[in-house]
Chains A and B, each alone.
Chain A
Amino acid sequence: MTQYRVLPGPEHFLPPSAASMGICLPNPGEAHINGVIVPEEKAYEEAAKQFLMARVPTLFPGPLVLWAWNEKAAKKATAIRHLYNTLKECVQPGQTPMLIPMPDYRPKYPKINPEVEINPNHPNLTIWHNKIDCCMFIGVHCHQANLSLKIIRGGTSCYTIAMCAQAGHEDAMLSFRDASVEKIMKLAEWVKKLKGTVQPRLTSAKSGASN
């Protein structure tokens, strides 16, 4: 049993992949928080709390949901928009939810405009520029998501959530697996449910990893 925990960074000049530190992905019906396997229900609550605590809670939808390449993708996109609108309705003054797309994976450094998009090869630029302290990846191909999540953990203090359509992401601080429209809607419900019960963190997070 590993003692390693997946925590907000900045962790290291080159942090290890969580898998190499013994963190395992959840099985169906489960999620993980900080690398510890939990029932999925607990992860909804924790993800909603993290969103409501954050100064700039942000959704990063990727190409798998940005383009209507099948009916399911289009429905997921609508659900993500609903989650974003729910966040806007539920946060307090001083909190600024954002929706920043990851439209493709082409390296764009140094030309990227971090206000309008995020790129998996240098996601820290978008995190830093917008002072994002909590984000959720959704609809990003797994390899690119893991790449980004590890770079974010390495160089920023942002809390990362992954809503993965496949097996989940151990490099996120919290990860769901088998993402569906229903799961996105359920997360929005949890945000609504916890509205007003969570004290927002109105200064930028400064926490470092404690591994």
Chain B
Amino acid sequence: MADTHSVIGTKNKKGQTFTDTWEMMNNAPRTPSFFTGSEVIKEALRRASCDVMIAYPITPQSEAAALIGELFAEGYIGDYFRGESEFAVMSQCAGAAFGGARVFTTTAGPGTMRAMENFPMWSGARLPIQMIVTCRGINSPLSIQPDTLEIAYLLNTGMLVWHAETAQDFFDWILKGYMVSEEPDVHLPLALCCDGFFVTHTKDVVNLTPADMCLPPYDPYRSPVPCMDMECPPVRMMRDPFVMKSNYISYATHASWQQEVWAAVERSRKHTIKWINGLIETENADAEVLIVASGTAVSQGREAIRLLEDEGIRCGLVKIKSLRPWPGEEIREATKNAKHIIVPEFNVTGWLAKEIKATIPNSERVNAGPHVCGGMTMPPEIIVSEIKTLLGMRTMSLAGRGS
């Protein structure tokens, strides 16, 4: 029987020392390194004591799956193989997690959509799988450029959903994500999202923890459900679901089961706050104009704030780090004094603005946009322009700059 605490200080077969995660992430020395986002995913996985990684390598969105194959060849990953499709990959991830393994996979765009049936199944079966979502367009015509529409589909699966702004967030949150996901009162899958291409294909300085330290192994004996047993729920439910019984109590059981999944999302709140230092971050939250964003829209918002400062306009920022659990109270508190709330997004529907509108009083304060999608960049000038328009100030049309 595994005992996570008893292995701290011992070495794995690669000579890495199993280290208390809090110590490793907060107190261990960091080395600045210049990496692409995909390389950062690989480096995080090198330190993650991951048992199984399953890949569908056709996706062009990130090189992470192929790079983690190299890690397997080097002996850092317990097992690694290619699935027949994204759907197969996610099903195989479930099998590995049912068996008590720490599991990792990556996906993006149409692949996420193809595999979608599996995600509520992962949550319902309480499988703490970590899935990196390097967001890209999901519609036809295809795009490998960032578009965050797929996140909207993940929000109601019962998974934890975090949205990283930078490669540094990504490195830290991959490792910390397992700590939240694997808590016995949570034990849910985590969709760790980033805006693909911007984060995955560009290089940035990322402070890495020592490569000779790694996470303690996953302890499946702390799971809130038994390891795989074909006669026991949740496995039993897949071939003999409650709905087959057609009576009040079986429906009530299924309902209670769903509520328990969402209760676990709620319970993740305190662990998430502890590990990623709050569900949101704020800057100048007392300003009358606030940008509220997630992912790389936060970075563009920061630049817009700098441009506005040059013109004497004070603007604050709320960076949303976790989408599930949803930081409702934190957003209500951070926006209580704002007269204008600007929500820039890399998708056509504005799902984040809708979530915020449903959260705060006086939701007419929310300005859903600016939006870009299909892989367009979001120049900070269009955020500036949106804000100045809201404030009744004259603004130049960015689209007309070349005329």
Instruction: Answer whether A and B are interacting partners.
Output: yes
Are B250 and A121 within 8 A (Cβ)?
yes
Q: Give B214-254 interface residues, CB cut-off 8 Å to A.
A: 222-226, 231-233, 236, 240, 242, 245, 247, 249-250, 252-253
Residues of B within 8 A of A199 (CB): none
Contacts between the two chains (Cβ within 8 Å), count: 99
Of chain A, the residue at the smallest CB distance from B255 is A14
Are B184 and A18 within 8 A (Cβ)?
no
User: For the complex, is A68 an interface residue (Cβ under 8 Å from B)?
Assistant: no
Tell me the minimal C-beta distance from B122 to chain A in angstroms. 14
Given contacts A70-B1, A141-B223, contact A20 B259 (CB under 8 A): yes
Residues of A within 8 A of B1 (CB): 70
Tell me the minimal C-beta distance from A30 to chain B in angstroms. 13
Most buried by B among A18, A25, A141: A141
Tell me the minimal C-beta distance from A163 to chain B in angstroms. 15
Are A166 and B224 within 8 A (Cβ)?
yes
CB-defined interface of B252-278 with A at 8 Å, one 1/0 digit per residue?
A: 110111011011101100100000000
Tell me the minimal C-beta distance from B288 to chain A in angstroms. 29
Residues of B within 8 A of A171 (CB): 263
CB-defined interface of A8-21 with B at 8 Å, one 1/0 digit per residue?
A: 00000010111110
Given contacts A105-B232, A109-B245, A167-B184, contact A146 B263 (CB under 8 A): yes
Tell me the minimal C-beta distance from A112 to chain B in angstroms. 11
Given contacts A106-B236, A107-B240, contact A121 B249 (CB under 8 A): yes
Q: Give B187-231 interface residues, CB cut-off 8 Å to A.
A: 187, 222-226, 231
Are A147 and B257 within 8 A (Cβ)?
yes
Given contacts A106-B236, A142-B224, contact A166 B231 (CB under 8 A): no
User: For the complex, is B47 an interface residue (Cβ under 8 Å from A)?
Assistant: no
Residues of B within 8 A of A141 (CB): 223-226
User: For the complex, is A154 an interface residue (Cβ under 8 Å from B)?
Assistant: yes
User: For the complex, is A81 an interface residue (Cβ under 8 Å from B)?
Assistant: no
Given contacts A24-B270, A70-B1, contact A107 B245 (CB under 8 A): yes
CB-defined interface of A129-165 with B at 8 Å, one 1/0 digit per residue?
A: 0000000000001111011001100110000000000
Are B184 and A20 within 8 A (Cβ)?
no
Q: Is the interface of A mostly helix, strand, loop or mixed?
A: loop
User: For the complex, is B302 an interface residue (Cβ under 8 Å from A)?
Assistant: no
Are B224 and A25 within 8 A (Cβ)?
no
Of chain B, the residue at the smallest CB distance from A70 is B1
Are B266 and A107 within 8 A (Cβ)?
no
Residues of A within 8 A of B231 (CB): 104, 106
Of chain A, the residue at the smallest CB distance from B250 is A109
User: For the complex, is B386 an interface residue (Cβ under 8 Å from A)?
Assistant: no
Of chain B, the residue at the smallest CB distance from A104 is B232
Given contacts A106-B231, A107-B233, contact A25 B185 (CB under 8 A): yes
* Cross-chain contact of A151 among B223, B236, B252, B266 (Cβ < 8 A): B252
Beyond the given pairs A146-B224, A167-B184, 11 more chain A to chain B contacts, judged by CB atoms under 8 angstroms and listed by A's residue number, are A17-B259, A17-B263, A19-B263, A104-B232, A105-B233, A107-B233, A107-B236, A142-B224, A143-B187, A143-B225, A166-B185
15 contacts between A and B (CB under 8 A): A17-B263, A20-B259, A25-B185, A105-B233, A106-B233, A109-B247, A121-B242, A141-B223, A142-B224, A143-B225, A144-B233, A146-B263, A147-B256, A155-B252, A166-B184
- Which residues in B have some Cβ–Cβ distance to A below 8 Å? 1, 126, 183-185, 187, 222-226, 231-233, 236, 240, 242, 245, 247, 249-250, 252-253, 255-257, 259-260, 262-264, 266-267, 270
